[in-house]
Amino acid sequence: MQSSSKRVKAIFSIPLPRESRSLYDPLNAGDSSESFDQASEKLSNGRSVEELSTGCHCQQRRQSWTTAQKLLWAGATLSTVAVLTAVIALTTQPSCISQVAQPSPLLHDLEIKYHDQLYNGSFLKENVYRGLAGPKTDAAWEALGVNYRAAVVPEAQAEAAGMSRDKVRISAEFGGGYPANVEGLHHLHCLNLLRQSLYYNFEHYQALGKGAFKNQPHIVQKHVTHCLDIVRQQLMCTVDIGLLGQVWYQPPDKQYPEAFVDFNTKHRCRNFDEVREWARVRQVPEEPPLDYLAPPEEGQRIWSEIP
């Protein structure tokens, strides 16, 4: 029973906090010089035992609150600095498009926007751009701006657009500036010429004798291979890292389904129509005056052959 009682006492005995023990401990040998009356006098100076016992805790709370305040102020300061740094970076650094695109006045004149677009990658179902040679197909391609004339780049935007002094200029009499083509529309022009040169379309366009087909056959060949290689370089330069998965389809004459590549993929596309419209409204005159272009200046480079 005695051992059991000791266990119960051990379980339910709660030691006083160190601060409280110091107040209630009997005077030890080290304090023998202090009388009981002196100790009582300390308690009779207007402070209760409770005040004495809690004074240390209040001091600790004040110290803890001071530390918390310091941490809060430090966090607020760091957050403010981070926000200001981000704002400055956004307002001073060039946009993402300017870091991956060639210098162009379009970056100044247009807001290049993006939207999600599902490609029409159908293997068998054709659309107007895939049609055989004829007025309807030609009109669809023409509407893309594949045959737009050069646009006028103002003098003020020429340097930022990469127009060096060696480039052809428009006479000051007609407003000055530089004639230049939007590269994306030239890529489409090339793709259109490849379409026209397909074996089942070639004779049709050769007989019409318009556009590129007005030239001699060997020049047409050079034009076609030039366009072929331009498209190659563009596709390699901006290589699409998206993936083409596969789906199951059931051939009508087969017992089991077969796998086939799904070319209908989502892409992040720029606002093509606004780019095309920018080029359309800035075209040089369809029939410019003979002196529309300024003659070469002294010291301006003149190529000995077509570059």
Per-residue buried b or exposed e for 60-78, using 16+ beta carbons within 10 Å of the residue's own CB = eeeeeeeeeeeeeeeeeee
176, 192: one domain? yes
Is residue 248 included in any domain, yes or no?
A: yes
Q: pLDDT-based confidence at 22, cuts 50/70/90?
A: very low
Are the C-beta atoms of residues 282 and 138 closer than 8 Å to each other?
Answer: no
Is residue 250 included in any domain, yes or no?
A: yes
Is residue 40 included in any domain, yes or no?
A: no
Q: Which of 37-51, 78-92, 243-257 has the lowest mean pLDDT?
A: 37-51
Question: Given this model, what pLDDT does residue 27 score?
Answer: 39
144, 261: one domain? yes
90, 125: one domain? no
Angle, alpha carbons 300-306-307 (nearest 5°) = 80
**Dihedral sign, CA of 49, 50, 53, 59?**
negative
Question: Given this model, what pLDDT does residue 52 score?
Answer: 44
For the whole model, what pTM was predicted? 0.68
Burial of 253: CB neighbours in 10 Å, binned 0-12, 13-18, 19+: exposed
Q: Is the pLDDT of residue 206 over 70?
A: yes
218, 129: one domain? yes
Is residue 59 included in any domain, yes or no?
A: no
78, 169: one domain? no
Is residue 13 included in any domain, yes or no?
A: no
Instruction: Tell me how many domains the chain contains.
Output: 2
104, 80: one domain? no
Question: Given this model, what pLDDT does residue 215 score?
Answer: 98
Which residues neighbour 183 within 8 Å (Cβ) at sequence distance 6 or greater? 102
Question: Given this model, what pLDDT does residue 151 score?
Answer: 97
85, 104: one domain? no
Separation between Cα atoms, residue 118 and residue 165, nearest integer Å: 42
Q: Which of 2-6, 101-105, 142-146 has the lowest mean pLDDT?
A: 2-6
93, 171: one domain? no
Q: pLDDT-based confidence at 11, cuts 50/70/90?
A: very low
Question: Given this model, what pLDDT does residue 59 score?
Answer: 52
Host domain of residue 92: 72-98
Q: Is the pLDDT of residue 279 over 70?
A: yes
Separation between Cα atoms, residue 177 and residue 285, nearest integer Å: 14
Question: Given this model, what pLDDT does residue 28 score?
Answer: 44
Question: Given this model, what pLDDT does residue 143 score?
Answer: 98
Q: pLDDT-based confidence at 50, cuts 50/70/90?
A: very low
Q: Is the pLDDT of residue 186 over 90?
A: yes
269, 248: one domain? yes
- Give the residue-averaged pLDDT of 78-92: 62
The proportion of the chain whose per-residue pLDDT surpasses 90, expressed as a percent, equals: 59
Is residue 43 included in any domain, yes or no?
A: no
H or E element: which one contains 269? strand 266-270
Are the C-beta atoms of residues 241 and 252 closer than 8 Å to each other?
Answer: no
203, 78: one domain? no
134, 91: one domain? no
Of residues 224 and 34, more confidence is placed in: 224
Contacts 24+ apart (CB under 8 A), 178-183: 178/152, 178/153, 179/150, 179/151, 179/152, 179/153, 179/284, 179/293, 180/150, 180/151, 180/153, 181/148, 181/150, 181/151, 181/279, 182/104, 182/106, 182/148, 182/151, 182/275, 182/278, 182/279, 183/102
88, 122: one domain? no
Is residue 76 included in any domain, yes or no?
A: yes
Q: Is the pLDDT of residue 16 over 70?
A: no
Could you give phi then psi for residue 42, rounded to 5 degrees?
Answer: -65, -35
Is residue 263 included in any domain, yes or no?
A: yes
Q: Which of 5-19, 97-111, 216-230, 236-250 has the lowest mean pLDDT?
A: 5-19
